[in-house]
Amino acid sequence: MEKNCSENENELWKLSVDGSSCVSGNGAGLVLTSPDGWTLEYTLKFVFKATNNEAKWEDIVAGLTITKHLEVKKLEAISDSQLVVGMVRGEYKAREDTMAKYLAHVQNLKSAFQVFRVLKVPRAENSRADQLSKLATTGELNKNQTMLVDYLERPIIAEMDVMDIDVPQEPN
């Protein structure tokens, strides 16, 4: 279930994510904005092959992981992926094993937040994350000296096969 946000909107962090998969490469772009306007832009370059849907999942998992480590408690995540947003919100079922693993990972990460919501936005409203994801697929990435860049050797869910996932238990 999605945690509802009746909290003060001024305390809400915003996370914009986008993943990109194309012939020249795969990657993701993240834009995290604090309630007072501080912004972190992050680019992930995938060293592994990913489908477009997998790239969309990798970006939201990475964004949630970063915000969890920053101890963000109130988060609104936005994506232009109808599939990912629909699955996270429980509107769609994960039919493929890979999608189910990504969804389980996101559900586990959601428990770190007091308030969490995910919204689907048109691509035009997610342009900066889209630009960062496309940057990850180009040779220009190595020339940029001011951007945080990370390289993922394998999909995030590859580690799930060997580690236990803590699933929050509902109170009795």
Measured CA to CA, the distance from residue 157 to residue 112 in angstroms comes to 18
**pLDDT tens readout for residues 41-83:** 988 888 888 888 999 999 999 999 999 999 999 999 999 999 9
Query: Does the residue 166 lie in any domain?
Result: no
Query: Does the residue 165 lie in any domain?
Result: no
Single-letter code of the amino acid located at 12: L
- How many domains does the structure of the chain reveal? 1
| CATH number of the domain bearing residue 145 | 3.30.420.10
Query: Does the residue 85 lie in any domain?
Result: yes
Average pLDDT, the chain: 84
Q: Note the residue count of the chain.
A: 172
72: tokens are 């963000």
Measured CA to CA, the distance from residue 51 to residue 102 in angstroms comes to 13
